[in-house]
Amino acid sequence: MELNSIKPADGAKHAKRRVGRGIGSGLGKTAGRGHKGQKSRSGGYHKVGFEGGQMPLQRRLPKRGFKSQTIKFNAEITLSTLDRLGLPEIDLLALKSAGLVGDLIRVVKVVKSGEITKAVKLTGIGATAGAKAAIEAAGGSVA
């Protein structure tokens, strides 16, 4: 087999339908569009959701709800989770590698839930006032 002898399988390719090219083609005169009406005219069709002038469904229904995109990239982590992690220095990369936050997370904040006994140093991670006080009381720091 050579590159110049490759051809598609039988029936895989078929000729394009040439409309409006005489009666012999079977699609002459009206070119398969029928007689009269909006769909037969050139440029005459409607946009998606158009209901002939009636108020479309997407405009009849009330607008409801909102999903914040910022939730996708922010995460919270508790003091007890930090305690279980057992690392002396914790940053965003360490939390991602431990599987505690997702790969898309950009901002992490420590909240005061549970207790922390080990001294940890947080870098690039935020903390609430209560969580910061608890970390510093255990001998750690928040940078």
Domains annotated on the chain, with CATH: 70-142 (3.100.10.10)
pLDDT tens digits, 71-85? 778 899 999 999 998
pLDDT tens digits, 109-127? 999 999 999 999 999 999 9
- Count CB atoms within 10 A of the CB of residue 109: 13
C-alpha 100/C-alpha 6 separation (Å) is 53
Question: In Å, what is the CA distance from 80 to each residue of 50, 60, 91, 113, 126?
Answer: 56, 49, 16, 7, 16
- DSSP-derived letter for residue 113 is -
C-alpha 138/C-alpha 121 separation (Å) is 11
Position of tokens 């399988």? Answer: 9
HEC sequence for 1-57: CCHHHCCCCCCCCCCCCCCCCCHHHCCCCCCCCCCCCHHHCCCCCCCCCCECCECCH
> For the whole model, what pTM was predicted?
0.51
